[in-house]
Amino acid sequence: MTNKVAVITDSLACLTKEHVEQYGIGIAPLNFYCGGKVYKDWVDITPDEAYELFLKDPDSFKTSAVSPEDCLKAYREASKETNSILCVTVSAKLSAVYTVAQGAKDQIKNELPQVSIEVLDSQTVTAAQGFVALAAARAAEKGKSLAEVVKAAKEVMGKVSFLAFLDTIKHVYRTGRIPKIAAQVGAMLNIKPILGMPSPSSGLVRFIGAVMSREGGIKRMLKVMRDRVGQSLVHVAVMHAYALDEAQKLKERVASEFNCAELWVTGFSPLMGYATGTGTLGLAFYKED
C-alpha cells in the first residue's frame, strides 16, 4: 500500500540505508568538495569513504548547501506516489537547507499544482533530525494525513536531543564558533570537547563540556543522557565519524545501561565531520512519554 504522505529529509539526518528503504524516505543530499571534485553526501559516496578523502587532504574539503535542483528532484520523485509531501530539514539556524527547500516548494507549484508540500524545520541536526523524519515516516506508514504526520514529527521535535564527543578540537574553527588559533591551541592541550543542544528544539549547537580522554568523553555523554531520560523507555542512535568499532562498543554500553525501545548505529555525515574530525562519537535520543 502506498502511503498517503511521502517524507523527505536531507542527508544531515544521518538515517541508515535500512531506514530509508524500509519507510521509503526521500533524501535530498548536501554537496561537498574534495580534491576539486563535487560529491553528493550519502549518494555518490558513503560517510567512511568521505572520511578517507578527508584524512588524505583535509584542507581541500569544503561543504556546500543542498542544491535547489536536488530538492526539486526529491519533490518530483515523491509526487509520483502521492499528492502530500513533508520535507524535514536540518535546523534553519545551522544551515540554509530549510530556505532552499522552501524556495523549491514555491518553484514547483505551477509544475505540480495538485501536490501539497510542507517544509518543517526540525530545529535539530544529526540523527536527532533523523528521529523527527522517522516519526513522520512511521505515521505516514499508518496512513495518517499530512497534518497528522506533521504533528507526529513535531512531537518528537519537542523531545529529541543529541550529544557529540570530538576526539580533537582542531577542526572546530570551521564552524565559525571559535578562532583557528584557539582550536590549534586546544588541540595541542589535548582538549576534547562535547557538543550538544542546550534543549530540544533550540536549533543551536553549543559546547557543553570538555574532557581529556575518550573514555572520559563517553562517560560524560552517558551521564548527560542518563540525567535527561532516567529509567524511561528511550529511542537511541549511536553516531560515529570513521569509528565503527567504537560505535558498536558504545551501542553495547547503551543497551546494557538503558531501557531501549530502539537502538541503531549510523555514520556521522561528513558535512558535519569536516568540522569535528574523525573519531567523533555521538548519541541522539528521546524518551517515550
The answer to whether residues 147 and 181 belong to one domain is: no
> Could you tell me which residue, 52 or 273, shows the higher pLDDT?
52
77 and 210 inside one domain: no
Same domain, 266 and 222: yes
The answer to whether residue 1 scores a pLDDT higher than 50 is no
Give the residue numbers spanning the domain of 142: 5-30+65-157
Grid coordinates representing 106? 514555491
Domain boundary residue, one of 157, 186, 221: 157
Nine-digit cell at 224? 548527560
152 pLDDT higher than 70: yes
Closest CA to 136 of 57, 78, 178, 180: 78
State whether 96 and 150 are in the same domain. Answer: yes
81 located within any domain:
yes
Residues 15 and 139 in one domain: yes
Q: Please say if the pLDDT value at position 198 is more than 80.
A: no
Give the pLDDT band (50/70/90) at residue 185: very low
Domain contains 55: no
* Same-domain check for residues 222 and 271: yes
Which of 133, 157, 181 is the C-terminal boundary of a domain? 157
Quick one: pLDDT at residue 179?
55
CATH code, 259: 3.30.1180.10
70 in the same domain as 119: yes
Are 176 and 270 within one domain? yes
Q: Are residues 137 and 205 in the same domain?
A: no
Residue 150 in domain: yes
pTM of the complete model: 0.92
Q: Are residues 85 and 222 in the same domain?
A: no
pLDDT digits (tens, 9 = 90+) for 228-253: 999 999 999 999 999 999 999 999 99
Angle CA(128)–CA(129)–CA(133) in degrees, nearest 5? Answer: 120
Q: What CATH number does residue 138 fall under?
A: 3.40.50.10440
Domain assignment present for residue 37? The answer is no
Phi first, then psi, for residue 267 (nearest 5°) are: -75, 145
**In terms of domains, do 169 and 283 share one?**
yes
- The answer to which of 69-78, 115-124, 146-155, 208-217 has the lowest mean pLDDT is 208-217
| Structural contact between residues 88 and 9, judged by C-beta atoms closer than 8 angstroms | yes
What pLDDT digit, counting tens, does each position of 30-53 carry? 999 988 899 999 888 989 999 999
Q: Enter the DSSP assignment of 189.
A: T
> What's the CA gap between 234 and 229, in Å, rounded?
7
Residues 197 and 93 in one domain: no
Number of domains composing the chain: 2
- Angle made by CA atoms 62, 65, 70, in degrees to the nearest 5: 125
Asked which of 157, 190, 212 is the last residue of a domain, the reply is 157
